[in-house]
Amino acid sequence: MKRTCWNTELSVQNINEKVTLLGWVSKRRNLGSILFIDLRDRSGIIQIMIKDADKFPDLRNEYVVQVKGAVSRRETPNPKMKTGEIEVIADQIIILNTAKTTPMIIADETDALEDTRLKYRYLDLRRPAMQKYFDIRDQIKITTHSYLHKNHFIEIETPILCASSPEGAKEYLVPSRIHHGSFYALPQSPQMFKQLLMVGGFERYYQIARCFRDEDLRADRQPDFTQIDIETSFLDQNEFLHLMEGLIKEIFQNTIGYEVKLPLRQMTYREAMSRFGSDKPDTRFGLELHNLKKEVFANTSFEAFQKADVVRGICVNGVAEATSRKVIDSLNLEAKKFGLGGLSVLKLEHGEMTGSFVKFVSEAEKSSLIKEFDAKDGDIFIIAAGPANRVNPLLGAIRLSYGRQLGLIKPRSYDLLWVIDFPMFERDIESNKIVASHHPFTRPRDEDLKYLDTDPTKMLSYAYDIVINGYEAGGGTLRIYDQDVQKKIFNILGLTDEQVKEKFGYFVDALQYGTPPHGGMAFGLDRLAMILGGTDNIRDVIAFPKNLSAVDPMTNAPTKASEEQLKELGLSLIDEQK
């Protein structure tokens, strides 16, 4: 079963050469005495011509075969194929294995539902389009290893079975067979281990780390995922971001041949939220949010606008005619999901402003609104009022939806930026308690330390996200290394000394032994592969993913444990029906 070469290594330079190829029958076309098959291996597809087909074995789709023959020029080239100028005239074909009729089409385009694709994932992975995703994923990892090693990083593995740590998302717990009633946790990230490696003096660490979070799933999230995890000592924020930009530049160049221009621009969290309604703004198109309370409705008689913390809006061009009552109802339904009573929608048609809200708008306000957006006939205004932490995300989501609907985003375009200066703390909407915006080890900006004892909600942090096309592709922070500052942060979060010792004891102890200034970040490997691969579904770039119910349709995981297994672990299940 020796092959002389991969399919796509052949070209017109190899005409008349004898070759031996291995692969799967991708497609067959029977023209009577002549049979054509497309032979697929990992590199791609090549056409095989079989003369006197009756003298060869019967071939079906997905049979595994060995083909021996000579390379020849095709009479009718196929410019869509890498090997479209040549074919192989078969002298001998050996069937290495047969195959049942597959439950799905194995081609770049398939009509199979996602559950079918996941159930028969090993067949789905044969599709050339899928294998390209994994070529990109592999190249990201190769580039990461190369770039970080030449910049003095060392790769170190951290534990998968570790202590539970309150870092935001719910954890997966693993019961201990030896210590009944005790549990390991699967790491949400190597956060504290990577910081301890800085205490340990390694200065520059990385690993391609498996992470686990028991979260509700969506198109760009999985319960088990992979991070490019990085930590450094003795770098300030700009030095660190510059180093990471170099990595991203090489990843883009080596995977898709795209030239990223450096330095990347930086946008503050406040600007991102006020202009785009998101801390991960897709800046490839306009439809920016405008502050209307000051510029348009400063003297409004409309009570809801008077009392609102903010009044903001967007102007969508040319959709007035298509904005039916049904569309407006759907927009108002979206507003309710964000905790707001509704939206004010106005149309500009034939020089007149219409809509149920128009009776509350003065002539001066109408003129100001048109001027603010430089609006034209056919445009609509979508206005929201209320708390900024609800208004901004709502309008950001509507903005993004219209951007996609109206084709405002140029295909295969890339826009990269850093979002910086995140709030150190925020108030929980339900409890009104102060909580950490990132994690309790995030370092406050030096100039904001004065607010520690007066108003910590005014503090900004050394936190940063890299945003690519509206996706948070990675994020991190500089870390607190001063013991006194760390203690005050714990106090602000309402943690007692006993709670700190219980949750973070070993880590707080380590801070007492000469901790260097340090910081880091993690890139989402799956998300990077998704962006560079041109798909919006993270399951496409993970070999054996879970569906939106966190189930693997192929293996049926998660499965029930036997009574014997539970007994060995010292566990019993609660009967939920009682």
Q: Looking at the domain assignment, is residue 361 inside a domain?
A: yes
Same-domain pairing of 376 and 442: no
Same-domain pairing of 534 and 422: yes
For residue 88, give the CATH number of its domain. 2.40.50.140
Q: Looking at the domain assignment, is residue 113 inside a domain?
A: no
Q: Looking at the domain assignment, is residue 564 inside a domain?
A: no
436: helix, strand or coil: strand
Residue 393: HSE in the Cβ half-sphere, 13 Å Cα cutoff = 11
Max distance between CA atoms of the chain, in angstroms, equals 90
**Residue 155, beta-bridge partner list:** 206
Same-domain pairing of 400 and 420: no
The H-assigned helical ranges of 110-190 are 114-119, 121-124, 128-150
Q: Looking at the domain assignment, is residue 88 inside a domain?
A: yes
* Domain ranges, residue 347: 285-405
Q: Looking at the domain assignment, is residue 552 inside a domain?
A: no
Q: pLDDT tens digits for the chain (578 residues)?
A: 789 999 999 999 999 999 999 999 999 999 888 999 999 999 999 999 999 888 899 999 999 999 999 999 999 999 999 999 999 999 999 999 999 999 999 999 999 999 999 999 999 999 999 999 999 999 999 999 999 999 999 999 999 999 987 656 789 999 999 999 999 999 999 999 999 999 999 999 999 999 999 988 777 789 999 999 999 999 999 999 999 999 999 999 999 999 999 999 999 999 999 999 999 999 999 999 999 998 899 999 999 999 999 999 999 999 999 999 999 999 999 999 999 999 999 999 998 999 999 999 999 999 999 999 999 999 999 999 999 999 999 999 999 999 999 999 998 899 999 999 999 998 776 777 888 888 899 999 999 999 998 999 999 999 999 999 999 999 999 999 998 999 999 999 888 889 888 888 888 899 999 999 999 999 999 999 999 999 999 999 999 999 999 999 999 999 999 999 999 999 999 876 55
Same-domain pairing of 79 and 153: no
Do the beta carbons of residue 394 and residue 276 sit within 8 Å?
no
For residue 326, give the CATH number of its domain. 3.30.1360.30
Same-domain pairing of 530 and 447: yes
What total of structural domains would you count in the chain?
A: 3
For residue 191, give the CATH number of its domain. 3.30.930.10
Q: Looking at the domain assignment, is residue 573 inside a domain?
A: no
Which among 361, 383, 405 is the end of a domain?
A: 405
Same-domain pairing of 253 and 134: yes
Q: Looking at the domain assignment, is residue 391 inside a domain?
A: yes
Q: Looking at the domain assignment, is residue 342 inside a domain?
A: yes
Do the beta carbons of residue 86 and residue 5 sit within 8 Å?
no
CA 446 vs. chain centroid, Å, equals: 31
Q: Which amino acid is at 546?
A: K
Give this prediction's pTM: 0.93
Do the beta carbons of residue 59 and residue 28 sit within 8 Å?
yes
Same-domain pairing of 177 and 72: no
Residues in the chain: 578
Same-domain pairing of 135 and 263: yes
Same-domain pairing of 214 and 305: no
